C-alpha cells in the first residue's frame, strides 16, 4: 500500500474514534478506517500492521472480531499464501435491520423496567414510555424506509 497522507491518517483516526464510541476496541475502528480510506479493495495483514503501526497481536484480534461481526471479509489469491482483508460492504442492509431488531429488544427491556418500577415515579415512567414508543416506531419505520429506498433506487 502506498504511504498514507496526513489527511488520510486524520480520517482513519476519526473513523476509529467513531467506532470506539460505538463500543469497539480502538484498533478495530482504525482498521475499518484504513479499509475505507484505502484505494485498494483488500489489504494484506502485513500492510495493515505497517500502515497503522500496530502490533501483530492487536491486528489479529481486531481482524477476528471484525470477521465475526461480518464487517470485513478476506480473500486469497492463487499462488499467494497471504490473506487480504476488505470491508464487507454488501451486507449493510442487513446490518441496519439487525440494529433495528436490537433497538426493539432494548425497548422491550425498558417496558419491563417500567412495569417493575410500578407507579411510584410517574414522571420517570412517562419519560421512559416516550422513549419506548419512539424506539418501537423506529423499529417499524426503518425497515419500511429501507424497502422504499431500495425500490426507488432499483427503478
**Whether 46 contacts 82, CB under 8 Å:** yes
CA torsion angle 103 106 108 109 (round to 10): 180
Q: Does residue 148 register a pLDDT over 70?
A: yes
Q: How confident is the model at residue 32 (pLDDT cuts 50, 70, 90)?
A: very high
Q: Does residue 138 register a pLDDT over 80?
A: yes
pLDDT value at residue 97: 87
Q: Does residue 71 register a pLDDT over 80?
A: yes
Q: How confident is the model at residue 49 (pLDDT cuts 50, 70, 90)?
A: very high
| Residues whose CB is less than 8 angstroms from the CB of residue 45 and which lie 6 or more positions away in sequence, other chains included | 56, 59, 60, 63, 82, 83, 85
Global pTM value: 0.75
Q: How confident is the model at residue 1 (pLDDT cuts 50, 70, 90)?
A: low
- pLDDT, one tens digit per residue, over 94-109 is 888 888 998 999 999 9
pLDDT value at residue 2: 64
| Residues whose CB is less than 8 angstroms from the CB of residue 142 and which lie 6 or more positions away in sequence, other chains included | 96, 97, 100
CATH T-level fold of 6-87: Arc Repressor Mutant, subunit A (1.10.10)
Q: Does residue 93 register a pLDDT over 90?
A: no
The DSSP string of 49-95 is HHHHT--HHHHHHHHHHHHHTTSEEEEEETTEEEEEEEE--TTHHHH
CA distances from 11 to 40, 63, 66, 142 (A): 16, 20, 19, 28
Domain ranges of the chain: 6-87, 92-153
pLDDT value at residue 52: 95
Q: Average model confidence (pLDDT) for the chain?
A: 92
Q: Does residue 92 register a pLDDT over 90?
A: no
Amino acid at each position: 500500500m502506498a504511504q498514507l497522507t496526513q489527511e488520510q491518517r486524520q480520517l482513519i483516526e476519526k473513523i476509529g474514534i467513531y467506532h470506539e464510541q460505538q463500543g469497539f476496541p480502538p484498533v478495530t475502528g482504525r482498521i475499518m478506517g484504513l479499509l475505507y480510506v484505502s484505494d485498494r479493495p483488500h489489504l494484506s495483514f502485513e500492510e495493515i500492521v505497517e500502515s497503522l503501526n500496530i502490533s501483530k497481536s492487536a491486528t489479529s484480534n481486531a481482524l477476528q472480531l471484525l470477521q465475526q461481526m461480518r464487517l470485513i471479509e478476506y480473500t486469497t489469491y492463487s499462488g499467494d499464501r497471504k490473506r487480504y482483508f476488505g470491508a464487507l460492504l454488501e451486507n449493510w442492509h442487513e446490518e441496519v435491520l439487525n440494529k433495528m431488531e436490537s433497538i426493539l429488544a432494548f425497548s422491550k427491556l425498558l417496558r419491563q423496567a417500567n412495569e417493575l418500577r410500578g407507579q411510584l415515579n410517574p414522571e420517570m415512567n412517562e419519560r421512559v414510555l416516550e422513549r419506548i414508543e419512539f424506539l418501537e416506531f423506529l423499529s417499524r419505520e426503518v425497515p419500511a424506509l429501507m424497502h422504499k429506498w431500495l425500490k426507488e433506487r432499483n427503478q
